[in-house]
Structure 1
């Protein structure tokens, strides 16, 4: 008996990297998995890996910036796989590197729109059915710049800080109805996104620290974030709803401290020093 048997998970940005690993891990735990992204070929490959291992999967190509398309995707998932229990908003964009007077304003805004608006749309489309059932969990991915300044990645950082606050607002709205929302920071993972930072002239010029961190051995495997999210989907970290978990966390230690973390109001986006 697997922890997520009989459940349905939706993973956005599930065609590669961290998202693919999240989808595979959800399936290994027993969930039927819907994999969403704009690239049909990539999500079909993820779905094929799941079905080849005996799982159930559905690849749904969708542009998360288009609300109508997202609503249609969620309706299709409910019709073909069943009620959604877990929504993982893993999609992301980070292409605007450098100070704001150098970056292309359209590219900067696209980072924000894909990350933040895409998360909003996925939640808005999936939550009515979850609310009607009085059960469900949402996981929103955050990252660099969520809780600190990131001058050469201001669009990405602004969107991720906003997603953290959105997660808190969402959670506080949903908790009375039996639903929960969480934020997860996967850490520095070598993905197509980080390769873009390493290989482009703009990334090399404005984000040299990324190369330095990889060269020093900092490279968090995507399996860690996937394991945290599987724990969240299974209810292990329910006392920390509305808060941040990290791929690099010692999950046993976090579980042992959950009461204290909540009482001390840690792992949240708050003003400090006031």
Structure 2
């Protein structure tokens, strides 16, 4: 028996990169997958890869910023695959680079809307369904700027810090029914998003350190976060509900340290250094 047999997982941004890897890991663990992204062709390819390995996948092309479509889509998932046990919000946008006065306002707000509103929309539908059934897990992906300043990526950073706090707030309203929310930082992964940062003129101007990071070999394989999320889905890290886990973590060491992390209120978005 596989660790995720008889479970249903929803993965957003599942058409490529980290999201595709997350979906593949869930399927290999035995889960039935719902794949959400705007690109129909990309999620169809992810579904094909899952099915070629004997898994089951339902591709749904929709925009997570459209609340009505999200509600319709998740209702269809439950009709077609069964009750949702795991929701992974992997969708994301980072297209506005530079000081805020150099950023196109619509692009800046678009990054925030996709990242934060999209996560709100999926959680708003999935969380009460999980609560009504007495269990479930939600994983929200965060990233650069979540816990530190990111001057030339302010829209992305602001949205990811907001998702971290949103994850904590959500978890505090759902854990009484064994619905646990987690934030996961996959680390610096070479994706279509980072290719835009590397190759656009704005990216070259305002994110000049990025090529050097990749040249130094700082390129976290997407399967690190995917493997972590598969273990979250199986319940290994339930004591860390409401907290941040990272793709670079040594998962065995993290599992050993969970009690200490909780006791220290670690891996959380908190003020420090206040008298």
Normalising by structure 1, we get a TM-score of 0.99
Tell me if structure 1 keeps the 8 A contact 2:43–2:59.
yes
1:175 counterpart residue number: 175
Partner of 2:92: 92
Secondary structure in structure 1 of the residue aligned to 2:100 = coil
DSSP-derived class of the 1:83 partner: coil
Query: Map of 1:64-143 to 2, 5 A cutoff?
Result: 64-143=64-143
**Alignment coverage as a number of residue pairs:** 274
Structure 1: gaps of 5 or more residues:
none
| Local SS of the residue matching 1:33 | strand
Q: Kindly report which structure 2 residues correspond to 1:191-206, keeping only aligned pairs within 5 A, or say none.
A: 191-206=191-206
SS of 2:226's equivalent? helix
Displacement of 1:199 in angstroms is: 0.5
Query: Partners of 1:17 and 1:151 in 2: how far apart?
Result: 26
Tell me how far apart the structure 2 counterparts of residues 247 and 45 of structure 1 sit (CA, whole Å): 24
Deviations 1:123-181 (A, max 9, x none): 01112221110110000000000000000000000000000000000001101111100
Identify the residue that residue 23 of structure 2 maps to in structure 1. Answer: 23
Match of 2:187 in 1: 187
The residue number in structure 2 matching 1:268 is 268
Query: Over aligned residues, Cα RMSD in angstroms?
Result: 0.5
What is the alpha-carbon distance in structure 1 between the residues aligned to residue 128 and residue 77 of structure 2?
14
Q: Look up the SS of the partner of 1:173 in the other structure.
A: helix
Aligned-partner SS, 1:270: coil
Contact 2:5-2:30 within 8 A present in 1 as well: yes
- How does the TM-score come out when normalised to structure 2? 0.99
**CA–CA separation in structure 1 for the residues paired with 2:8 and 2:32:** 5
Which digits, 9 at most, give the CA deviation of each residue in 1:11-62, with x for residues without a partner? 0000000000000000000000100000000001001111111101000011
What is the rounded CA distance, in whole Å, between the counterparts of 1:242 and 1:127 in structure 2? Answer: 14
1:216-259 CA-partner distances (Å, limit 9, x unpaired): 11000000000000010000000000000000000000000000
Which SS does the other structure have where 2:129 is aligned? helix
Deviant stretches of 4+, over 4 Å:
none
In 2, Cα distance between the equivalents of 1:130 and 1:74?
12
Distance 2:263 2:127 in 1: 28
Contact 2:127 2:179 in 1 (8 A): no
Residue aligning to 1:257: 257
Structure 1 counterpart of 2:13: 13
- In structure 2, list runs of 5 or more residues that go unmatched: none
Per-residue CA shift, 1:87-146, capped at 9, x if unaligned?
A: 000000000000001000100000000000000000011122211101100000000000
